Structure 1
Amino acid sequence: MIAGFPPVAAADARLLILGSIPGRASLQHQQYYAHPRNAFWPIIIQVFGAAPDLPYPDKLRLLTDHGIALWDVIGQCRRPTSLDSDIEPVSVQVNDFSRFLAAHRHIATICFNGTTAEATFRRRILPFLDLERQPLTFHRLPSTSPANAGCSYADKLARWRSALTGGDH
């Protein structure tokens, strides 16, 4: 079994970015999106105009300073590689979103980093959330993973920028 990371979130977070579960490079470095070819941090840095060599703790602060929380849908699972397609479905244990959202009442938007995060959330979490109490808007964004070679960096950047800065709401 592999286990993900705790959420990164300030009390006033308004938007939550959800991935599936960290890959091998991220687990090895104990950092979200640590694979050198993953476009997540370059996109975040470009969207918010930060220095490209920003240390990891400052990258996390960049998110929280902009009202963005970061977490994964899956808390634990078995996956022999870093590919989401290799996640063993029977092993999936999802994170506790009822508790997380209750503690972060300002979150109104959830952005999914790819299809696995969205599909798992919609199937395993969404049916158990009280959306009348805390209405949410959902956006599936193109995965920042290097495995998503079918979407150009420019397209990823444009779609992520729009979602993170309110351009598509």
Structure 2
Amino acid sequence: MNESDHTTPWEACYRELGPKLLLFARQWVPTPTDAEDVVQTAFIKFWQHRPDAHPEHYPLLYAAVRTSALDFRRSGERRLRREANPAVEVLREDSTFFDHGVEQREDAALVEAALRELPSEQREVVVLRVWGGLTFAEIATALDQSINTVTSRHRYALEALRREMKPYSHERH
């Protein structure tokens, strides 16, 4: 009997979606550790409401992570205001979306910079589609938006990313 025979549906779900959800959470929180906390909180809350973890529920996990991340950010902002810190910058310039190796740092930096330029609504759709691997229907469910809105945001984001990345494309050839 191997280890996978003892895996619960939620363990399998966490193993499959954990890294994707961490990347998704990084849009709203300042550090990778905060993203881990947000994802874990979302999993626990979601598991309490849906203990039977089926793949058709997975898009709702993205919505739970988004809600947890926004709650986390709001609570941090309130704490900072209470502590009289005049400004809060959720995604610092020195923080990164990706955990990457040396050979990919330059490309990752270019993509990160281009992603930062996107409106948050477009950025979250791209992250869910490209790195989360969700379908447009699943993204629409996760974000509580129409599929037309989601596909439009994706299209506009890709157009903006192409424009932003075009100066660098000829350097690679």
Same fold (TM over 0.5): no
- More helix per residue: 2
- More strand per residue: 1
Larger radius of gyration: 2
TM-score (norm 2): 0.26
